[in-house]
């Protein structure tokens, strides 16, 4: 077993920015180079809370806006023990969306402020690196039509993008903005570069607490 902890690396961005594609490529490249790595994604729709979230996103069920926000957060908290265990065992965990999506999406709704939205996630394991995959709404639209799920409209996604911009002003989080309009392989190379340095830095540091 490795004596160094793994890193917690998060990919964020609006719909179709390439998060899922790049998470898979990053984990495959790290594993190929002999570094243990695993992917996680939020929401994790496989747990009982995740099934409830899935039915909300698929519009099969209505849930009050505050209540669904807290369920998204609970879905992260319920997976903290397994996430921490992997990291402590030396596995780098690459996460497709995290608390930043939680705060950006709910605060894009009427009557929600960013501070209230961040509160339930305060104290989660703090990512060593958060990469924001940036594409313009026009470029994202070229990658396919929106599906049927809740939140998949260009007006809402534009507000979400503005909320992400606000979150990125926080210097306590190690944000890197990635130009995700480039070719898949070029984006991957930028991501690998930032990830390798985050993995090295994380080895000598304890896991932090988010927004604390």
Which residues contribute to the site for ligand FDM (CB under 6 A)? 42-43, 57, 72, 97, 101-102, 105, 151
The minimum distance between CB 128 and ligand FDM, in angstroms, equals 19
CB nearer to ligand ADP: pick between 39 and 70: 39
**SS3 for the chain, per residue?**
CCCCCCCEEEEECCCCCCHHHHHHHHHHHHHHCCCCEEEEECCCCCCHHHHHHHHHHCCCCCCCHHHHHHHHHHHHHCCHHHHHHHHHCCCEEEEECCHHHHHHHHHCCCCCCHHHHHHHHCCCEECCEEEEEECCHHHHHHCCCCCCCCCCCHHHHHHHHHHHHHHCCCCCCCEEEEECCCCHHHHHHHHHHHHHHHHHHHCCCCCEECCC
Which of 6, 8, 12, 19 binds ligand ADP (CB under 6 A)? It is 19
Q: Rule CB under 6 A: is residue 15 a binding residue for ligand ADP?
A: yes
Q: Which of residues 110-149 bind ligand ADP (CB under 6 A)?
A: 143-144
Residue nearest to ligand FDM (CB): 102
The minimum distance between CB 188 and ligand ADP, in angstroms, equals 9
Q: Rule CB under 6 A: is residue 188 a binding residue for ligand ADP?
A: no
Residue nearest to ligand ADP (CB): 18
Q: Rule CB under 6 A: is residue 187 a binding residue for ligand ADP?
A: yes
CB nearer to ligand ADP: pick between 122 and 184: 184
């Amino acid at each position: 077993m490795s004596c160094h902890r793994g890193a917690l690396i998060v990919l964020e961005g609006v719909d179709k920015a390439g998060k899922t594609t790049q998470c898979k490529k990053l984990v495959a490249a790290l594993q190929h180079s002999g570094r243990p790595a695993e992917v996680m994604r939020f929401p994790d729709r496989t747990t009982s809370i995740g099934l409830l979230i899935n039915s909300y996103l698929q519009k099969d069920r209505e849930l009050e806006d505050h209540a669904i926000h807290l369920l998204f957060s609970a879905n992260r908290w319920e997976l903290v023990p397994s996430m921490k265990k992997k990291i402590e065992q030396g596995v780098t965990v690459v996460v497709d969306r995290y608390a930043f999506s939680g705060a950006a999406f709910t605060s894009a709704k009427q009557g929600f402020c960013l501070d209230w939205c961040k509160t339930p996630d305060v104290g989660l394991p703090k990512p060593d690196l958060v990469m924001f995959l940036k594409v313009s709404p026009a470029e994202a639209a070229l990658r396919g039509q929106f599906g049927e799920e809740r939140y998949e409209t260009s007006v809402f996604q534009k507000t979400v993008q503005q909320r992400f911009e606000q979150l990125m002003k926080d210097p306590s989080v190690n944000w890197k903005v990635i130009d995700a309009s480039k070719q898949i392989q070029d984006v991957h190379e930028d991501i690998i570069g930032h990830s390798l340095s985050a993995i090295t830095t994380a080895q000598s540091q304890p896991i932090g607490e988010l927004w604390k």
